[in-house]
Amino acid sequence: MARIFNFGAGPATLPEPVLRQAAEEMLEWHASGMSVMEMSHRGKEFVAIHAQAEADLRELLGVPPSYKVLFLQGGAAAQFAVVPLNLLRGKRSADYVASGYWSKKAIAEAQRYCKVNVAASSEDAGFNHAPKQERWKLDPGAAYVHYTSNETIGGVEFHWIPDTGDVPLVADASSHILSRPLEVGRFGLIYAGAQKNIGPAGLTVVIVRDDLIGQAAAETPAVFDYKVQAEAGSMHNTPPTFAVYVAGLVFQWLRKLGGLKRMEEINVAKAALVYDYLDQTEFYASPVAKEDRSRMNIPFSLRNTALEETFLKQAKGRGLAQLKGHRSVGGMRASIYNAMPMEGVKALVDFMREFERNHG
C-alpha cells in the first residue's frame, strides 16, 4: 500500500488513524455482528454512534445549548436553497456577500426564493480578497445575512466574524469548519458539507439557533425543514449513517489531538510554510490579499504557465496529488485541510523549491 499526499479540495484526505479504525470495524462494529452500514438507523447501536458524534461536535465547537445540530444530506449546495426556505420567515429579501465562486452559487439559488441584496462584492477585483465590513451595505430589514466564510476555490478566508446586529448571520463554512475555534453564538446558522474537513461526502452539518426554526415556507420539503429534522433528531428519514459514523471518528481524532485550538496552531504552521515560500519566490505567485489568505485552500500559479503540466506531472510522480486548480480559475491549488499532515506540506514545499531550481 502506498498512500499519496492528497491535496484535493473535496472529497479530501482523511486522517489515517480514522481510516484504519473504520477498516478494523468494517465487518463488525463493537461486537454487534454487523457493519455500521448494515445497521438500522433506529437501532440502539447506531443511535449511540449518532448521539456520540453530535456530542463530540458540540464539545469541539462549544455549541451553546440553544442551538440544534443537524446531520442532513444534500451537501452545501442543497443548503443554498434550504436556508432561504427556512430562514426567510415571511420576509422578502436577504443580504448576501459575494466573495467568490461558492457565494455566487449561493446567491443564484437564493434568487429563486427571494430578493437578494448583494451587500458587498469583491468580484471587480477578481475575488482576491474578503470585502471589509465597512463596505458592507446591510439592510436592517433583511431576513438574514449570508457569507462564505472560506472560499474553497479562490482561497479567500474571513479571519473575522462579521457584525450584522440583530439580523441573523449565516455562514457556509464547508471548507474551514473545525480548522479553528469558532464563536458559534455569533451566528444564526452555520452549515458545511462534510467532504472537505469533516468526513465522507453525503453528510451535511447544520448548526442553527433555536429561534430561527419552525417558520419554514409551506412548500419546504419535510426532509429539509429544520424543525421537522430537529424534532426527529435528524432522523425524519434515513440519515447518511456511514458518513455520520466516520465523521464521528474524525471528531474523536480531533478531541484526542487536543481540540480546535491545537488544530488551529497546526494549521497556522502548515499554511505559513507554503505562504512564506510563495512570498520569497518570483517563480510562483499567490493571487490573494495577504490578510485574507486561506489556511485551508492555497491557490498559486507558476509565472511561466507553460510549465504547469510538467509541474503537475512531476508532483504526481512524487506522490503529491490533485494539485490542479479549479477548472473555473486554472493554476494550482493545494488544499491542506486538518487531515493533511505537516510532512505532506513539507514534501510539497520541497518539491516546489526543487522545481524552481530546475526550471527557474
Q: What's the grid cell of residue 22? A: 473504520
Q: What's the grid cell of residue 178? A: 473545525
Q: How far is the CB of 28 from ligand PLP (least distance, A)?
A: 30
Residue 172 annotated in active site = yes
**With binding defined as CB under 6 A, does residue 76 bind ligand PLP?**
yes
Nearest alpha carbon to residue 152 among 259, 253, 250, 7:
7
Q: Which CB atom, from 76 or from 247, has the smaller least distance to ligand PLP?
A: 76
Give the one residue of 5, 46, 96, 102 binding ligand PLP; rule: CB under 6 A: 102
DSSP conformation letters of 64-131: -TTEEEEEESSHHHHHHHHHHHHH-TT-SEEEEEE-SHHHHHHHHHHTTTSEEEEEEE-GGGTS-SPP
Terminal alpha carbon distance of the chain: 34
Q: How far is the CB of 74 from ligand PLP (least distance, A)?
A: 7
Q: Which CB atom, from 150 or from 220, has the smaller least distance to ligand PLP?
A: 150
Give the one residue of 152, 164, 179, 267 binding ligand PLP; rule: CB under 6 A: 152
CA max distance for the chain: 62
Residue 136 annotated in active site = no
Amino acid identity at 347: A
Grid-cell match 477548472, residue found: 327
Spatial distance between the Cα atoms of 140 and 159, rounded to a whole number of angstroms: 24
**With binding defined as CB under 6 A, does residue 247 bind ligand PLP?**
no
Q: Which CB atom, from 191 or from 311, has the smaller least distance to ligand PLP?
A: 191
Grid-cell match 458539507, residue found: 193
Residue 270 annotated in active site = no
| SS3 assignment for 40-83 | CCCCHHHHHHHHHHHHHHHHHHCCCCCEEEEEECCHHHHHHHHH
User: Among 46-54, 69-77, 126-134, 265-273, which window interacts with ligand PLP (CB under 6 A)?
Assistant: 69-77
The contact pattern for ligand PLP, residues 201-230, with x = CB under 6 A and - = no contact, is ------------------------------
User: Among 41-49, 169-177, 227-235, 327-335, which window interacts with ligand PLP (CB under 6 A)?
Assistant: 169-177
Q: How far is the CB of 327 from ligand PLP (least distance, A)?
A: 14
Per DSSP, which regions of 249-296 are E strands? 284-285
Q: Given the residues 56, 95, 172, 292, select the one marked as catalytic.
A: 172
Give the one residue of 193, 200, 325, 331 binding ligand PLP; rule: CB under 6 A: 193
Where along the sequence are the contacts to ligand PLP (CB under 6 A)? 10, 75-77, 102, 148, 152, 172, 174-175, 193, 196
